[in-house]
Amino acid sequence: MGMHGLLWRISKIGSGTELNTRLLKFSGVYALRGLTLLIAVSIVSFALATVSPIDPIQQYIMANPGVSAENVERMKAFWGIDEPPVKRYLAWAGSMLKGELGDSKIYRRPVAEIIGTRFKASLALMFLAWTFSGVFGFGIGCLMGMFRGRALDRIVKRLCLIMCSIPTFWIGLVFLIVFSVWLGLFPFGMAVPAGVNSADVTIWQRLHHLVLPAFTLSFLSFANVALHTREKLIDVLESDYVLFARARGESAGSALRRHGLRNILLPALTMQFSSFSELFGGSLVAENIFSWPGLGQAASAAGMQSDIPLLLGITLFSAFFVFVGNMIANILYGVIDPRIREAAR
């Protein structure tokens, strides 16, 4: 299907009052789901932080040994130590609705500001890893499907199965040893070269520091996309209409272009968007291995140093980000596949 065909299909989704009604219903359903998700995540996260042995007052005193008794009492009032957990949650949720997520104990800045700054670095890392896993995974999956049952297919399939079982931290350390220590092709970590002013760093230097962490992170979904694409392509190539086309003299490459790609693109694309949760979870490990200044590294530091406001803020933002990724996948289903739209009607 060409671009004109795709635009024609999108234009046929609906028009006028019918389209507006469906859009409003769709938006309302997803807004309700997102709100319910955030409320549930906030309750569970706050409850876990409440029953944990972490004492924010003691952590504050340990970080500031010379703090006065007056400041300690002020901190107790700020955290509401003597208040019931439900009252403390409602006060925290009320502040959160106003956009006030509190201040980070580690970074001495508002949590919202830290999340905004760190998310830019994490987004660049996840986007490049997402692109790697999608492009290479889809291409290798098509290659395996075209040569199904042959030596190439068997070898690559075994490699993909092995990749699915490799932990991110292990493959990250291996990549550091091979590509940074032995070959010297990539830096050891960080987002910019050490000792260089951030304003003087070029785009190529940033990409040079970004490639190895992104390639490590892409291993989370690379093999899954390849194996999933392989199975879908085999199903298509063994279908009756493709076998009929091959019997009429159509080549394997032509059958792949005319029938295979258009039928396996949607499942592969949907799987890509649904892998946001894996990428976000894997970024915590990859960012710590490569000292990448993103949300994953900030979440790890918040957990290790008992920075409750920052940890809760990142948890809520992570849930929202994953929800948006799944929502985009569902929207693409309806836009690309007309059967989904008919079922929805």
Give start and end residues of each alpha helix (H) in 147-167: 151-164
CB neighbours of residue 261 within 10 Å: 15
Cα–Cα distances in angstroms (integers) from residue 112 to residues 31, 101, 191, 309, 316, in the given order: 22, 6, 21, 10, 11
Looking at residue 155, its pLDDT comes to 92
CATH superfamily of this structure's domain 114-344:
MetI-like (1.10.3720.10)
Q: Which two tokens stand for residue 74?
A: 């002020």
Cβ(144)–Cβ(157) below 8 Å: yes
Helix axes 69-79, 56-63, angle to 10 degrees: 140
Looking at residue 20, its pLDDT comes to 62
d(CA 5, CA 23): 22
Amino acid at 151: A
What is the mean pLDDT of each successive set of 10 residues along the chain, which is 345 residues long? 44 52 72 88 88 71 72 70 81 83 83 90 90 89 88 90 84 90 85 74 86 86 86 83 76 72 76 75 84 88 83 90 78 64 58
Domain map of the chain by residue range?
Answer: 114-344
Query: Cβ neighbours of residue 291 under 8 Å, at least 6 residues apart?
Result: 188, 189, 190, 297
Looking at residue 7, its pLDDT comes to 40
Looking at residue 17, its pLDDT comes to 62
Residue 279, class by beta-carbon neighbours within 10 Å (0-12 exposed, 13-18 middle, 19+ buried)?
A: buried
Q: Which two tokens stand for residue 152?
A: 């190439």
Looking at residue 336, its pLDDT comes to 62
Helix (H) or strand (E) holding 35: helix 16-51
Looking at residue 300, its pLDDT comes to 86
